[in-house]
Amino acid sequence: MPTRRNMLALSTMGAAALLARQAHAQDGGHAGDVMPTLGRVTGTTMPANAPQPGQRFRPPTRIGLGGVPIGNGFAPGTDADAEAALEAAWAAGVRYFDTSPWYGLGLSERRFGHFLHTRPRDEFVLSTKVGRLLTASTHPPAVKLWKEPSPFAYRYDYTADGVRRSIEDSLQRLGISRLDIVYIHDISPDNGDMGARWTEYFDVAAKGAMPALTRMREEGIIRAWGFGVNTPQPALKAIEAGDPDIFLLATQYSLLRHDEALDHTLPALAGRGISAVVGAPLNAGYLAGRDRYDYRGTIPEGMPRKRARISAIAARHGIDLRTAALQFAAAHPTVAAIVPGARNAAQMQANARSMEVAIPPGFWAELKQKKLIAENAPTPAMT
């Protein structure tokens, strides 16, 4: 007769096999597939941030729509699918939208703008990024992340004039009159164009982009600014060099990897009243069954087993891995919003539905007991 330990091992192996089959199928020409949502849906409204007197600006909804897939990140997508994803976000009550000139070399901004310019401007919050200027090119650079991007080349410019030019260009592509949040983008040691020289770009931004954005905020042109980066070093450096309001921390706080942000980055931001938006809360699809991790070419050692173990525990508690991952990333009090991407309506609807599932407290207790998440990690309250 099989022992309980053997049964749990078989369950973990089964979860790993299922995820492997899903990843193979989804990345083999099925980029728009969706992991089914499991669990009891509470029917609650979209989680929101209650305004507080004296608080720095935060987006209204705690889940937004990230623009990487709509910029043809990882796989090509159609205009119709992008429009449907944005329509599904709006119908679900999402009112925060994040994009960038970098996403598809202008493609994401154009697709966001095509939808949002028909919506009342005071009813949504829009963020984009500065630091790269685009110019039309018959020979655009080959960027592995973007599939069938727009025909533009890019150059870095973190000066005050560069920021103003970038914002004007973004408004033209978006067809929208103003921005709410502006992130200084990709000044980070993981940026392959910069590497160890990222601090040189940071010094330019500290003299140019940062004071320019502070003036724009003070003049009411924008409501908030910060950095959009994949590593903690630039964020921690920025809070010493300027007066930012909010940071887009991508690939830094997820169900699989959160210790550094939990113990260092988020407390440092909170101490100054600064909030965070979590980018890539699904590790760029890895926590939704994709065979990729963040924006890297390799999956870190040990992650497949960790994902399989958490998936097996989730299944025993009657929920799915994506739902657990999204709610975990949104639970920290310093996190103002999460911005998972979606390339079609079904993915956006699934992300929104995941925020309405009641996750049993025993699930989080088991993850902590098995040391699969940090003991001090905030987790959602049962509703």
Question: Annotated catalytic sites, by residue?
Answer: 103
Identify each DSSP E strand in 42-190 by its residue range.
65-66, 96-98, 125-130, 132-136, 152-156, 181-185
Interatomic CA distance for residues 93 and 122, integer angstroms: 14
Interatomic CA distance for residues 125 and 248, integer angstroms: 14
Q: Which of 288, 292, 316 is nearest to 14 (CA)?
A: 316
Interatomic CA distance for residues 339 and 280, integer angstroms: 7
DSSP 260-273: HIIIIIHHHHHTTT
Which residue has 């004071």 as its token pair?
A: 211
* Residues near 366 by beta carbon (within 8 Å), at least 6 away in sequence: 313, 317
* Residues near 279 by beta carbon (within 8 Å), at least 6 away in sequence: 66, 98, 228, 248, 249, 250, 251, 339
DSSP 281-315: TTTTTGGGT-S--TTSSSPPTTHHHHHHHHHHHHH
* Residues near 294 by beta carbon (within 8 Å), at least 6 away in sequence: 230, 251, 280, 283, 284, 286
Interatomic CA distance for residues 158 and 77, integer angstroms: 30
- For residue 103, the 8-state DSSP code is T
- For residue 67, the 8-state DSSP code is S
Interatomic CA distance for residues 169 and 325, integer angstroms: 35
Q: Which of 88, 44, 119 is nearest to 342 (CA)?
A: 88
Instruction: Point out which residues pair with 337 in neighbouring strands.
Output: 277
How many of the other CB atoms lie within 10 Å of CB of 129?
26
Give the amino acid at 60. P
